[in-house]
């Protein structure tokens, strides 16, 4: 297994990368390479041009500002894993990233690569959905920002024009002391999840849920925000039996049926994992977390 022949380009600026994308046919962007390289080695993709983003300046950073974390597209997953800003302001991401592959792949793999590859079960894709992230996209006519919710357009297909690339993602942070949990079911540590649940909650003084975000990964082509469950949780207190009832309708979600698990198995997980995540999130609400 060897990559097929291609021409190799290693631009130094985003503008040069956009120029190459505009002028070259059948080009693929190479970020951390942890998905594209296997696809090249196995010849699932046959690009005429590979545009390597690893030498582009200014795409690797984690910035904290006005209640958001902005993370550059070429930021390595390892740097997110060890970032104090992420651990402090976005603990859900810090928890999820440790389940992305292994140390050897996180050292190379990038945020932007993971978001654009859009594997249905990818942890970072679920986190972007759970946090209502926005993505910044650079193209020939300048940059634009869109909601991550509108980014997946089909199975493993992001809303990118052929001359565009993702340059950053912005994650709104929840208030200090909120509850969070990322729970996934995978056969082995480091595998893609069969199903994952990402949960964020805020509770009021009396312990009633005031705000909730519940996201399921691995069910369909893109992460599913369980909006009905999020609404049903408002005003509830975390109690296992009640959560069973609230999460039961998730069994009706459409689910992928593949070699890893039949749809009915995923649907069962969809009722179980959010419940476990909600309980864990509740236990993590810091004593000062309730206003």
Partner 1 sequence: MSDTRQIAVTVNGMRYEEIVPVRVTLADFLRHQLGLTGTHLGCEHGVCGACTILLDGRSARSCLMLAVQADGHEILTVEGIAPNADTLHPLQEAFRDNHGLQCGFCTPGILTTLIELLRDNPDPTEEEVRIGISGNLCRCTGYQNIVIAALDAAKRLRGSSGASQP
Give the binding site for partner 1 (CB under 8 A): 1-8, 10, 30, 33-34, 37-38, 40-42, 50, 52, 54, 78, 101-105, 107-108, 188-190
Q: C-beta of 178: minimal distance to partner 1 in Å?
A: 27
Alpha carbon distances (Å) from 124 to 127, 148, 233: 5, 12, 24
9-39 burial, b at 16+ Cβ within 10 Å, e below that, comes to bebeebeebbebbeebeebbbbbbbbbbeeb
CA–CA gap between residue 20 and residue 265 (Å, rounded): 44
| Least spacing, CB of residue 190 vs partner 1, in Å | 5
Closest distance to partner 1 from the beta carbon of 87 (Å)? 16
Task: Produce one character per residue of 81-111: b if its CB has 16 or more CB atoms within 10 Å, e if not.
Answer: bebeebeebbbbbbbbbebbbeeebbebbbb
Cβ of residue 107: shortest distance to partner 1, in angstroms? 4
Residue 54 or 268: the one with the smaller Cβ distance to partner 1 is 54
Residues 275, 247 contacting (CB under 8 angstroms): yes
Q: How far is the CB of 283 from partner 1 (least distance, A)?
A: 21
Choose between 70 and 81: whose C-beta lies nearer to partner 1: 81
Nearest distance from C-beta of residue 32 to partner 1, angstroms? 8
Residue number with CB closer to partner 1 (119 or 132): 119
Q: Kindly report the three-state secondary structure assignment for every residue of 18-85.
A: HHHHHHCCCEEEECCCCCHHHHHHCCCCCCCEEEECCCCCCCCCEEEECCEEEEECCCEHHHHHCCHH
Q: Looking at beta carbons only, is 98 or 211 nearer to partner 1?
A: 98
Q: Which is nearer to partner 1, 72 or 101 (CB)?
A: 101
- Residue 189 or 241: which CB sits closer to partner 1? 189
């Amino acid at each position: 297994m060897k990559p097929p022949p291609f021409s190799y380009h290693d631009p130094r600026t985003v503008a040069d990368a956009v120029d190459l994308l505009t002028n070259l046919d059948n080009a693929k962007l190479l970020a951390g390479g942890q998905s594209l390289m296997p696809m090249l080695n196995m010849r699932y993709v046959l690009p005429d041009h590979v545009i390597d983003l690893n030498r582009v300046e200014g795409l690797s950073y984690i910035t904290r500002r006005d209640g958001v974390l902005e993370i550059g597209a070429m930021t390595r997953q390892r740097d997110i894993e060890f970032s104090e800003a992420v651990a402090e302001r976005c603990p859900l991401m810090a928890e999820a990233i440790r389940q992305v592959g292994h140390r050897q792949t996180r050292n190379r793999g990038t945020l932007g690569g993971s978001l654009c590859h859009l594997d249905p079960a990818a942890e970072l894709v679920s986190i972007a959905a759970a946090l209502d992230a926005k993505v910044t996209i650079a193209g020939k006519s300048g940059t634009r920002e869109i909601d991550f919710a509108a980014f997946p357009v089909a199975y493993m297909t992001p809303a990118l024009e052929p001359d565009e690339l993702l340059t950053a993602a912005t994650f709104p942070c929840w208030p200090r002391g909120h509850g969070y949990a990322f729970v996934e079911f995978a056969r082995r540590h480091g595998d893609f999840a069969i199903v994952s649940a990402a949960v964020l909650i805020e509770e009021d003084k009396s312990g009633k849920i005031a705000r909730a975000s519940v996201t399921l990964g691995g069910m369909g082509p893109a992460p599913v925000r369980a909006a009905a469950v999020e609404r049903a949780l408002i005003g509830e207190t975390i109690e296992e039996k009640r959560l069973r009832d609230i999460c039961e309708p998730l069994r009706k979600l459409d689910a992928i049926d593949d070699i890893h698990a039949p749809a009915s198995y995923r649907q069962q997980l969809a009722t179980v994992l959010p419940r476990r995540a909600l309980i864990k999130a509740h236990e993590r609400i810091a004593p000062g977390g309730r206003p």
